[in-house]
């Protein structure tokens, strides 16, 4: 388990470093379709409703542009949306890769009930997944989201992960579009 968590943290760090250095490989470039990062954040908020406790929700938003990587994090969904809108307005049409993540305590704590609910609510198709006793991680094709990574059948728009905090006994759920870019 520690190896997997270390690998995932390393993979996320590698993606962030690649973004910061301006070197996304074509297969990992975020592909924008119709919609906006604010729309995607609103879609994540709708998915999080009833799954992630409102108290203590963490929002993490990142954008990669030719100037580098900018990031915002906080607990206020409205402030996350305002940050996205301000950053988007300042870009004036410049290409940007956006990543939006929301994380918090899973409510109710039935981790098995999350996955069918996400599939129904976001009209998703499972692309790949990982499970062990304390971690679940799934990547989905979900065309209702505007950003994606990958190409063809491997293209994903949404990633969802749950991890059991063995110290508290609570499940932490993380939703991200197009991928989760924070530790789960």
Tell me the per-residue pLDDT of 1-42, one tens digit each, with 9 for 90 and over.
444 444 344 444 334 333 333 333 333 344 444 579 999 999
Dist. CA 144–CA 40, nearest whole Å? 8
- Contact assessment for residue 111 and residue 162, using Cβ atoms and an 8 Å cutoff: yes
Instruction: Determine the pLDDT at residue 154.
Output: 85
- Whether 161 and 148 have beta carbons less than 8 Å apart is answered as no
Mean pLDDT of the chain: 84
C-alpha 145/C-alpha 100 separation (Å) is 11
The pLDDT-based confidence of 158 (bands split at 50, 70, 90) is: very high
Residues 6+ apart with CB under 8 A from 43: 122, 144, 145, 177
For the chain, give the percent of residues with pLDDT over 90.
70
Total count of residues recorded for the chain: 184
Name the least confident of 76-80, 100-104, 107-111, 172-176: 107-111
d(CA 56, CA 58): 6
The Cα 182–Cα 99 span in angstroms is 10
Tens digit of each residue's pLDDT (9 = 90 or more) over 51-86 = 999 999 999 999 999 999 999 999 999 999 999 999
Listed range (16-20, 107-111, 144-148, 174-178) with the worst mean pLDDT: 16-20
**Closest listed residue to residue 54, CA positions, set 100, 103, 116, 99:** 103
Q: What confidence tier does 152 reach under pLDDT thresholds 50, 70, 90?
A: confident
The two structure tokens encoding residue 169: 């006994």
Q: Determine the average pLDDT of the residues in 38-47.
A: 96
pLDDT confidence bin for 141, thresholds 50/70/90: very high
Alpha carbon 117 to chain centroid distance?
17
pLDDT for 172 equals 97
Q: Degrees (nearest 5) of the Cα angle 183, 169, 6? A: 30
């Amino acid at each position: 388990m520690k190896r997997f968590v270390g690998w995932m943290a390393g993979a996320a760090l590698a993606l962030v470093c690649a973004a910061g250095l301006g070197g996304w490989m074509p297969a990992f470039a975020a592909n924008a379709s119709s919609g906006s990062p604010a729309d995607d954040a609103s879609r994540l908020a709708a998915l999080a409703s009833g799954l992630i406790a409102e108290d203590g929700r963490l929002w993490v938003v990142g954008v990669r542009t030719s100037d580098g990587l900018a990031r915002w994090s906080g607990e206020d969904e409205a402030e996350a949306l305002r940050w996205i809108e301000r950053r988007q307005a300042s870009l004036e049409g410049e290409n940007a890769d956006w990543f939006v993540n929301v994380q918090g305590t899973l409510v109710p704590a039935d981790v098995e009930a999350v996955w069918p609910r996400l599939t129904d609510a976001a009209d998703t198709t499972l692309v790949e997944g990982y499970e062990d006793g304390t971690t679940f991680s799934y990547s989905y094709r979900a065309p209702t989201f505007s950003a994606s990574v990958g190409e063809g059948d491997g293209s994903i728009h949404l990633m969802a992960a749950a991890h059991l905090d063995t110290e508290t006994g609570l499940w932490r759920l993380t939703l991200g579009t197009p991928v989760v870019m924070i530790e789960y």
